[in-house]
Chain A
Amino acid sequence: MLLLEQLLNGLQYSALLFLLASGLTLIFGIMGVINLAHGAFYMVGAFSAAYTAVATGSFWLGGLAALAGSAFYGLVIETGIIRRLYNRDHLDQVLATLAVVFFTNELITLLFGRSPPAMPTPDWYNAFVEVLPGLMYPVSRLLFIAVGLLVALGMWLLINHTRLGMLIRAGADDHEMVGALGVNISRLYTLVFVFGCVLCGLAGFMAAPLLSVEIGMGEKVLITTFVVIVVGGVGSVRGALVGALLIGMVDSLGRAYVPPLLDQLLPAEVSGTLSAGLLSASAYIVMALVLLVRPRGLLPARA
């Protein structure tokens, strides 16, 4: 019973990581931009959702605002800044997007303060359902998992069965050729970037009532997202899914089983510190292990 609950928690965290990682790896795979500001759109989404929901009293309007806010900010940043970075080396991309992070954090602080008001949620959202006899699980978390699954399915359909998906795949392989075939590359890039930002906004909306919404929330999860991408294989959406599941599960199962295990093996004062350290570094330990075996990640985009 505990195991199943932890698996569901793991799925929920995986869904969050997947929403962020799939967009980020799409942007990286196609445009070759390493975008540290990706977490900023997640934060913009969460703040927009919380403020709009409080102002209008509507949960769904909050969600709409999250998508619209992150899409709009993404459009501004892409056309204003990211566009100039496509042909630059990674160092420039890292620093320029870091500057965007600095700027966005301060801007949000100025506009909204350090943390937004608690987001109002409808009653059904706070309810519990019995997923198995004797196991009650919150609807909010189940919804998160469902959204993650839907997005994964949607991404698969989008990439493998639509014209846009074809262009995305082609653009990742050889964007000059795609451009030569008469596709407006600049517009494709903008589209993919904004799409990635909308996924962030969705993640922000889902996370706003559940996790702490604050300045810097994007960076915290962004680093883990990078780990997901590296574990899964840079540039591959399937890899992002696998990486998100792996990291999410390890994190949640580790939280449940590592501290009691260490408590049995070691004296209390040592085990407490050790398990805290192990847990917060678990994603990075998984990454180091994966890289020892497969330096390019589990499912790299190109062999």
Chain B
Amino acid sequence: MSRRIIIDLACLATFALMPLLAALLDEPFLVSLFTRLAIYGMAAASLDLLIGYGALVSFGHAAFFGLGGYVVGIIAFHSSQMLPLWGWEGSNSALVVWPLALLCCALLGLVMGYLSLRTSGVQFIMITLAFSQMLYFILGSLSLYGGDDGILMNERNSLPGLDLNNANQFYYLCVALLVAWLLFCRRLVGSRFGFVLRGLKQSERRTISLGLKPLRYRLTTFVIAGLGAGLAGVLWANYALFVSPDMGAWQKSGELMAMVILGGVGTLLGPVLGAAVYLGLEQLLSLWTEHWLLIFGPLLLLVVLFGRQGVYGLLMARRKPRKPASKPAPVATAQEVHP
């Protein structure tokens, strides 16, 4: 068995057995922690699709997380308050609400991606950041939906055959969706589409000269990654029964980036491990002091400066160090012009 399969199976087994372990240790809190982990892992893995495979360092990924959550929250608000939304009385069915939330995220991804992808490098970082801030402020100004305070929800969405209000059932749903999402992403990056994407990362010029249109591939990736984060947001709204503009704030985007780096860029499973490290450290350090960021900041700094491959890289060991994600090497471009 290759090391990668062993890591995959170990992660899967940990996720699968966690409720059992929690019951044995009589720590129901563990299930809750791992639900959060699965949700953030999904958002981080979808960001890795952009950063690790598309070399698109998006600093606005939390916008999708926030929007996905808000669609769930807003519909729940209308259905519980009996206030029709444009004549529709709302619904509590996940089969209606969740696809609607994903649709909104896809639309946001199209607009935000199309405008942001007109630029690259540092401008792309700043523009994605600015778009997510735009959404953040708009969410915060919705006084009907609590403004900065957000929306409290009464219950989770209903899904036929499952009781989402049961912690274990909800947990397994999140894990199942995470696994499905990771498998889908792996297929995607291993497909012809994924090769074009990685080709664009290595050399845009070469890919264009093969007759491919970069914008289509990048925009599609941007939308798909947005859908992943949007689904994570939907699950978060259901998990926390609370949405607020902070879900889409720039700090959240920074957290997601930190998870990707901590876990290992361009590995998909790595960011899930990164999410585990991030949430675990947050949990541990904040038990110790409320100023946990005072310790976490320097730790993150050390990992960025010296730990080049993240947790996944360490587990895989002896992998090649990862290449710079966003700066195309000038030497390579010169070679392309004069082969």
Q: Are A99 and B57 in contact (CB under 8 A)?
A: no
- Given the interface pairs A91-B325, A95-B304, the reply to whether A230 lies near B130 with Cβ below 8 Å is yes
- Given the interface pairs A91-B51, A234-B122, A276-B143, the reply to whether A226 lies near B258 with Cβ below 8 Å is no
Size range of the chain A interface in the assembly:
35 or more
Q: Are B304 and A103 in contact (CB under 8 A)?
A: no
Q: Are A34 and B125 in contact (CB under 8 A)?
A: yes
CA distance A234 to B294 in the complex (A): 31
Is A284 interfacial (CB 8 A cutoff)? yes
Is B13 interfacial (CB 8 A cutoff)? no
Q: Are A226 and B129 in contact (CB under 8 A)?
A: yes
Complex A-B, nearest 9 residue pairs according to Cβ-Cβ distance, in ascending order: A103-B297, A284-B134, A102-B297, A89-B324, A280-B137, A277-B141, A106-B294, A276-B141, A99-B300
- Given the interface pairs A98-B254, A280-B137, A291-B118, the reply to whether A105 lies near B130 with Cβ below 8 Å is no
Q: Are B297 and A106 in contact (CB under 8 A)?
A: yes
Is B119 interfacial (CB 8 A cutoff)? yes
Which among A36, A96, A285, A292 has the greatest number of chain B C-beta atoms within 10 A? A96
Closest B residue by C-beta to A28: B122
Of B141, B250, B297, B298, the residue contacting A219 (CB under 8 A) is B250
- Given the interface pairs A90-B122, A227-B130, A234-B123, the reply to whether A106 lies near B293 with Cβ below 8 Å is yes
Closest A residue by C-beta to B250: A223
Closest B residue by C-beta to A300: B123
Distance in Å from the Cβ of A112 to the closest Cβ of chain B? 13
Distance in Å from the Cβ of A40 to the closest Cβ of chain B? 11
Q: Are A277 and B142 in contact (CB under 8 A)?
A: yes
Distance in Å from the Cβ of A50 to the closest Cβ of chain B? 21
Is B257 interfacial (CB 8 A cutoff)? yes
Of A88, A96, A280, the residue contacting B301 (CB under 8 A) is A96
Residues of A within 8 A of B119 (CB): 291, 295-296
Given contacts A99-B301, A276-B143, A281-B133, 5 further A-B contacts (CB under 8 A): A94-B57, A95-B304, A223-B129, A234-B122, A280-B140
Chain B positions 123 through 135: 1 when the CB is less than 8 Å from some CB of chain A, otherwise 0: 1011101110110
Closest A residue by C-beta to B52: A91
- Given the interface pairs A90-B326, A223-B129, the reply to whether A100 lies near B123 with Cβ below 8 Å is no
* Chain A residues in the interface with B (C-beta under 8 A): 28, 34, 36, 81, 84, 88-92, 94-96, 98-107, 109-110, 219, 223, 226-227, 229-230, 234, 272-273, 276-277, 280-281, 283-285, 287-288, 291-292, 295-297
Chain B contributes a number of interface residues (CB within 8 A of A) equal to 45
21 CB-based A-B contacts, threshold 8 Å = A84-B305, A90-B57, A94-B57, A94-B125, A95-B258, A98-B257, A99-B296, A100-B297, A106-B291, A106-B297, A223-B129, A226-B130, A227-B126, A276-B141, A276-B143, A284-B134, A285-B134, A287-B130, A288-B131, A291-B119, A296-B119
Q: Are B291 and A110 in contact (CB under 8 A)?
A: yes
Residues of A within 8 A of B265 (CB): 91
- Given the interface pairs A91-B261, A94-B57, A281-B134, the reply to whether A230 lies near B123 with Cβ below 8 Å is yes
- Given the interface pairs A106-B291, A106-B297, A296-B123, the reply to whether A98 lies near B143 with Cβ below 8 Å is no
Is B121 interfacial (CB 8 A cutoff)? yes
Q: Are B257 and A90 in contact (CB under 8 A)?
A: no
Q: Are B294 and A281 in contact (CB under 8 A)?
A: no
CA distance A100 to B301 in the complex (A): 8
Distance in Å from the Cβ of B188 to the closest Cβ of chain A? 21
CA distance A100 to B294 in the complex (A): 9
- Given the interface pairs A287-B130, A295-B118, the reply to whether A103 lies near B137 with Cβ below 8 Å is no
CA distance A270 to B300 in the complex (A): 44
CA distance A219 to B144 in the complex (A): 27
Residues of A within 8 A of B134 (CB): 281, 284-285, 288
Residues of B within 8 A of A297 (CB): 123
- Given the interface pairs A103-B297, A103-B298, A276-B143, the reply to whether A90 lies near B115 with Cβ below 8 Å is no
